[in-house]
Amino acid sequence: MQPVQKVPYEDHVSIKTGLPPGIPIYIGKHEPEVTKVSALIYSADGFNIFPEIQASDISEIRSGYGICWVHISGLKDIDKINQILSDAILHPLIAEDVFNTKGRAKVEDFGDTLFIILDIILSNGTELQSRKINIITKEKLLISISETSNPFENIKTRISLPNGKFRTHDVDYLMYSIIDSVVDTYFFGLERIEDLSEKLEERVVHDPNSDIIIEIQSFRHTLIKFKRQVWSLRDVIMHLERSDSDFLTDSTRIFMRDVYDHVIKISEDLDIHREMAEGIMEIYLSSVSNRTNEIVRVLTVIAVIFIPLTFLTGVYGMNFSYLPGIDHPAGPIIIFGIMILITTSMAAIFRWKKWI
C-alpha cells in the first residue's frame, strides 16, 4: 500500500497529475465527514456487533468465527482507512478509487478481491444528491465504505434475526444485500422526480411565469445526472450477474438478476419522465406564445379602432381656412358623435367576427 499523501480538500481530479498510481487522495465536492468504523461478525450459530472499533481491532475480530463485515463511514481520517485497507492486503489502486468520490460506478475483479463502486441516492429537501459506496469483498470478509453515516442499518437488523436465513448464506449474499439496498434508494429518487414532474406540469399549465424556466432546466439537469448514474449502476449489476467470478454463487446470481430487472424498470421510468420534461418545456413555450398572441391581438384591435379616429382628428387639425362643418355651432358634437359611432360599429364587427 502506498504511503498517505497529505493534501488539502480538493474538488478537481487534476490534483493527482504527476503522482504515482495508488496514492490515496480525497477528491470530492463535499467536505469529508468524520470517520467511524464498526464491525459485525456472524455465522449460522450467532453474531456479534462491534459499534466502534480501531483499525488494530479488525485482525482480532476476524480471527473469530464466521463472516466479518467492516463498515467505514466518513472519509476524513485517511490514515485510519488506509491502514484498514493495508492490513486487508488489498491492491493499492483500491485505496486510490475509494477516496476519489468523483469516479464512476464500476466493478473490478482482482482475483482474490472483488471491488465495487456505486452511487447511493440521498434526498435533501427538494434536491437529489448522490454519495459513493465502496464494497470490497474477500474470502469471509466484506469492507463497505460510505461517504455518509451507515445507510445499512436494515441489513444489520436482518442479520440479528435468530430465525432468518441471512446467516446461512456466504459473504456474496451480504454483498448482494448491500447492492440491493443501494438500488432501493434509486426508487426513492424516482418518486421524488415523479413529484417534481407533476408539480412542474401543473404550474406550467396554470401559471407559466418566466421564473419556471429555471426550474424546468434544473429538473432536466437532474434527470440527465440521474439517468447517467442509472446507466452506470446497470452496467455494474449486469457485469456481476453475467460474470464467472468465484465470489458469486449460483443462488446469489438469481438474486442479482432480480436486482438487474429493478434497474431496468428504473431506467424505463426515467425515459418516460425525460419525455415528460420535454413535453413540459413545449407546454411552457406554447403558453408563452399564446399569451404573446393574445396581447398582440388586443393591441391590434385597439390600433385598428384608433386609425379612423386619428384620421378624423388629423383632418380637422389642419390649418385650412375652410373645412366642412367647422363653423357650425354643433360641429364638435357632430365630430364626437361620428367618432363614437365608428368605434361602436367596429367593436360590434369584431365581436361578430369573434376577434375579441
Residue 3 domain-assigned (yes or no) = no
Residue 60 domain-assigned (yes or no) = yes
Instruction: Please give the sequence-ordered ranges of beta strands (E in DSSP) within the chain, or none if there are none.
Output: 36-43, 46-50, 67-73, 106-109, 114-124, 127-138, 141-146
pLDDT for position 14: 57
pLDDT for position 217: 83
- Do 202 and 156 share a structural domain? yes
pLDDT for position 235: 92
The owner of cell 439496498 is: 181
- Do 241 and 322 share a structural domain? no
pLDDT for position 15: 60
pLDDT for position 126: 60
Residue 162 domain-assigned (yes or no) = yes
pLDDT for position 325: 66
Count CB atoms within 10 A of the CB of residue 22.
16
Q: Decide if 213 contacts 246 (C-beta within 8 A).
A: no
pLDDT for position 16: 61
pLDDT for position 4: 45
Count of structural domains within the chain: 2
pLDDT for position 5: 45
Three-state secondary structure call for residue 306:
helix
- Do 297 and 264 share a structural domain? no
CATH number of 83's domain: 3.30.460.20
Task: Give the residue numbers spanning the domain of 341.
Answer: 293-352
Mean pLDDT, the chain cut into blocks of 10 residues (356 residues total) = 46 59 76 89 87 86 85 90 88 86 87 90 74 91 88 85 81 92 90 85 77 82 88 91 82 90 91 83 79 81 82 72 69 78 83 75
- Do 180 and 303 share a structural domain? no
The owner of cell 485505496 is: 95
pLDDT for position 319: 65
Residue 6 domain-assigned (yes or no) = no
Q: Going by C-beta distance under 8 Å and a sequence separation of 6 or more, which residues neighbour residue 286?
A: none
- Do 18 and 78 share a structural domain? yes
